[in-house]
Chain A
Amino acid sequence: MTQALELAARRTLPDEGAVTRHDGAVFDLRRRRDLAAAEVPDWEALRERAAALKTHTLDHLDTYLERFEARATEAGAVVHWAEDAADLRRIATELLRAHKVERVAKSKSMLTEECGLNAHLESQGIHVVDTDLGERIVQLQGEPPSHIIVPAIHRSRAEIGALFHERMGTPRGETDPEKLTRAARRDLRSRFLSAQAGITGVNFAVAETGSIVVCTNEGNADLGMSIPRLHVACMGLEKLVPRMEDLPVFLRLLARSATGQPITAYTSVVTGPREGAELHIIVVDNGRSALLADPGHRSALGCIRCGACLNTCPVYRRAGGHAYEGPIPGPIGAVLAPALHPAGAALPHASSLCGSCTAVCPVRIDLHDQLLAWRRELPRPRGEALLGWLAALVLRSPSLYRLAGRLGRLSWPILGVRFPGNPAASWLRGRKLPRHPGASFASRWARRGQGTGP
C-alpha cells in the first residue's frame, strides 16, 4: 500500500472495528454476486459476449457516436460535446441558467463526481440535491462517495443517525435504517417536487435508437426525469452499445455483478424528451479519447461501473474508497487514475495483484494485468530503484546474503519497537512484526540433517 493511500485510509476507517465492518459489508456484496452469477448457466458466455461487444464498440466508437448523436437528435434530444471537466461544468451551467434553474434534483453519476459538477453549480448559486440515499448521506456529510454503488458504505448507522438528527431533525439516537430511510424519503420528496431540473448519469447509450439507459433501485433518477421540464444527462463517450438487442447482455450482468440482484428495480430506456420537456445529453471526453488511443490500456474503457472489482479487492475492502485519489476507487479506479488524473500515478502500486478483480469483472477487463502494465510504465515510487539495486546486489552474493541475514536477525527486536527514525515505522503503523524464528533456514537445515539436502 502506498503511504498516501494508507494515511487516507486511516482517516475514513479510523479503527479496527470500522475496518472490520467495512470489510464485512463490502465482501457481503461479493458473496451476493457469486450467488447471482451461479444462477445463470450461461454466465461465462455472457461475460465473453459483453467483452466482445465492448471491444467491437470501442473499435468503431466514431461510427457509433455519430449514429447515436443523429438518432438522439431525430428523437428530439439536444446532444452537447464536452472536451473535459471544465467544459461539462460550463455547458451544464449555461443550460441551467438559460432555463432559470435554481434547484436541481440529481441522481448518481460517477462522471459528474469526476468532473466536480456539484461544487461548481453550488458556486454559481444553483442548489443541487443528491437524491440517491447514499449520495445524499455523503453530500450532507460533506465528503465524496467511497463506493461507486454504495456511496456511504464506510458510514455506520450510528453516524448516519447522528447526521440525520442534525440535518433532518430525526429523533436523537434514532439509528433504525428503515426510519432513517423514511425520513430521507420525506425530505427528498419535497425537493423533487420543487426541482426545476433533473441531472442524471447514463449507464448505457444505444447508438441504434439514440436512447439513454439509466438504472437505479430507488427510482430517484426516474423522479428527476419525470417531474421537472429539463433533463440533463451526462455520459462518458464510452457508454455506447451498438443495438437495442445488445442491451440485455449488459442488463443481465450489471446488477448481478453489483449487488447480486437479477436486475435493478428500475431500468429506464429514454428516447428523446417527454412531451413539453427538454432532454439535453452531454457527451464527455475528459481523457477518454486519449485512453482509446492507447492500445495497452483502452480495455479499461469497457467498464460498466458495477463495483464488483471493489467488492472483491482485499486492498479496497480494508482501505475504503477515500484512500484512493480520484473519483473511482478500487482496482478499476487504480487502472483509470493514471490515465485520467496526474495524482493517480501511485495507485497501481496499491494492489497485491491477486487477480480477484479480473476474475469477477463482468466485461472481462484484464485489471491486474493493467495494474502491472502501469507499474512498468509509470515512474517508480521514490526509493524503489535504490532498494531494487541493493536487493539485486545482496541476492547475487551468498556471503552478502548471509551477512544481511545476520544483521537482520540482530536488528529484528529493535525494529519491532516504535521509535523516531525506525525504518520499519510505516509497516508498524498497521501491523506488528511477526516473531522471528531466531536462526536462518540454512543453519536450521544444517543442524537437522547433515546439510546434504533432500
Chain B
Amino acid sequence: MTARDDILARVAAAATHRASHPGGHTPATLETGFDRFASRLRGVGGEAHGPVPAWSAGEAASRVVALRADGGSIFAAESAADLLGPGPWVVPPAELAPIAFEDVAVALMLGTVAVAENAAVALLGREAPQRAMPFLCRHLILLVPANSIVPDQHAAQAALPADAFAHHHLTWISGPSKTADIEQTLVYGAHGPLTLDVIAYGEVA
C-alpha cells in the first residue's frame, strides 16, 4: 500500500458519512452600490473613481495614471488596453519573463466582479496572463464594470463567469498590499502594490 492508500483507508474508516451538506447560505441584505464599495475600499487603503461612461474610461485612467506614475513602465494588460484605447500605457509582450515586471510603476487590468461588503475585486486569470504583474507593480489600477458591483461575497461568487477557474488563478484583491507585523502599525506596500485604484465604468446597475 502506498501512503496515499493508507491515509485514505484510515480517513474512510474514521469518516462517519452522517451529517448532510447544509446547503447554501442566504446572507442578510447588505448595502450595495458604488458608494458603499468606494467607502469600503477607502477603509482598506484603496481609492475608487467613477462611475464613468465606458467611452471615457481611457480618459479617467489617464488621470489616475498621472497621479501615480513615479518613473518606470506603465503597462496595461491586453484586455484593459482594448477597453481604454490609446494612452500613456503599453501592452507588455506576452513572452516577457516575470522578473521583467520588477520596474513596473503602474499596471492597468480589468476586474470582473466587485464586492461592496469587502471592497474585493475579482481579477481573473484570463485578464492577467502575466501573473506576476499585479503583484510586482508599484501601483495597480483595476477597471470594473459599474454594474458588476454586488453586495456580498456569496453574490460575487455566483456572478463569476463559468470559466473563472479555467485559467490557473483568480485573485480577489481588496486594497493595496499591507502588513501590520511591526507593533501592529499598518503599512501599505508590504510586497505588492503600494496603492490600489479602482475605476468603475459603464452603466450603473
Give A contacts to B, CB under 8 Å.
Answer: 25, 28-29, 40-42, 45-46, 49, 52-53, 55-56, 58-63, 65-66, 81-83, 87, 131-134, 137, 150-153, 156-157, 160, 177-178, 180-182, 185, 188-189, 192-193, 209, 211, 217-220, 222-223, 225-227, 237, 242, 244-245, 247-249, 251-252, 259, 261-275, 283, 285, 289-290, 292-293, 298
Contacts and interface: CB of A to CB of B under 8 A. Distances in A.
Given A49-B25, A262-B119, A265-B176, A188 B191 contact: yes
A266 B118 contact: no
A56 B190 CA distance: 37
Contact of B178 (A49, A160, A262, A265): A265
A251 B171 CA distance: 13
A263 B192 contact: no
Nearest to B192: A219
Contact of B171 (A63, A133, A261, A269): A269
B187 A177 contact: yes
A227 B99 contact: yes
Contact of B15 (A49, A60, A290): A60
Contacts of B3: 81-83, 87
Contact of B181 (A137, A226, A268): A137
Given A81-B7, A271-B168, A152 B181 contact: yes
Given A59-B18, A266-B172, A292-B11, A180 B131 contact: no
Contacts of B20: 56
A144 to B, nearest CB: 15
26 contacts: A25-B183, A40-B28, A42-B25, A45-B28, A53-B22, A56-B21, A59-B18, A81-B3, A87-B3, A134-B179, A177-B185, A182-B189, A192-B191, A218-B178, A222-B135, A223-B132, A226-B131, A237-B11, A244-B157, A248-B152, A263-B153, A265-B175, A266-B172, A266-B177, A272-B168, A285-B10
B190 A133 contact: yes
B44 interface: yes
A231 B172 CA distance: 20
B170 interface: yes
A82 B157 CA distance: 32
B139 interface: no
Contacts of B146: none
Q: In the complex, which of the residues B19, B156, B158, B193 has the most CB atoms of chain A within 10 Å of its own CB atom?
A: B19
Contacts of A87: 3
A251 B25 contact: no
Interface string B125-136: 100000110011
B8 A65 contact: yes
Contacts, number: 236
Interface of B: 2-4, 6-8, 10-22, 24-25, 27-28, 30, 40, 43-44, 98-99, 102, 115, 117-120, 125, 131-132, 135-136, 152-154, 156-158, 165-166, 168-185, 187, 189-193
Given A131-B191, A227-B99, A245-B157, A263 B174 contact: yes
Contact of B165 (A61, A223, A244): A244
A251 B8 CA distance: 27
B192 A223 contact: yes
B19 A266 contact: no
B166 to A, nearest CB: 7
B118 A263 contact: yes
Shortest 8 CB-CB contacts between residues of A and residues of B: A219-B192, A262-B118, A134-B181, A218-B190, A293-B14, A177-B185, A52-B22, A41-B28
Given A223-B191, A248-B152, A180 B182 contact: yes
B7 A263 contact: no
B155 to A, nearest CB: 9
A227 to B, nearest CB: 4
Nearest to B165: A271
B183 A245 contact: no
Nearest to B184: A25
Contacts of B183: 25, 156-157, 160, 177
A178 B153 CA distance: 31
Given A189-B191, A292-B14, A62 B8 contact: yes
Contacts of A193: 99, 102
A96 to B, nearest CB: 19
Contacts of A249: 25, 154
Contacts of A83: 3, 6-7
B182 A268 contact: no
B168 A245 contact: no
Given A61-B15, A189-B191, A271-B166, A248 B178 contact: no
Given A180-B182, A270-B169, A81 B2 contact: yes
A265 B173 contact: yes
Given A193-B102, A248-B157, A263-B120, A42 B178 contact: no
B42 to A, nearest CB: 12
A55 to B, nearest CB: 5
Contact of B17 (A59, A247, A268): A59
B135 A252 contact: no
Given A25-B183, A46-B25, A150-B180, 5 more contacts: A65-B8, A134-B179, A181-B187, A219-B177, A293-B13
Given A49-B22, A248-B156, A178 B185 contact: yes
B41 to A, nearest CB: 10
A274 B181 contact: no
Contacts of A156: 183
A262 B165 contact: no
A189 B15 contact: no
Contact of B154 (A223, A248, A275, A290): A248
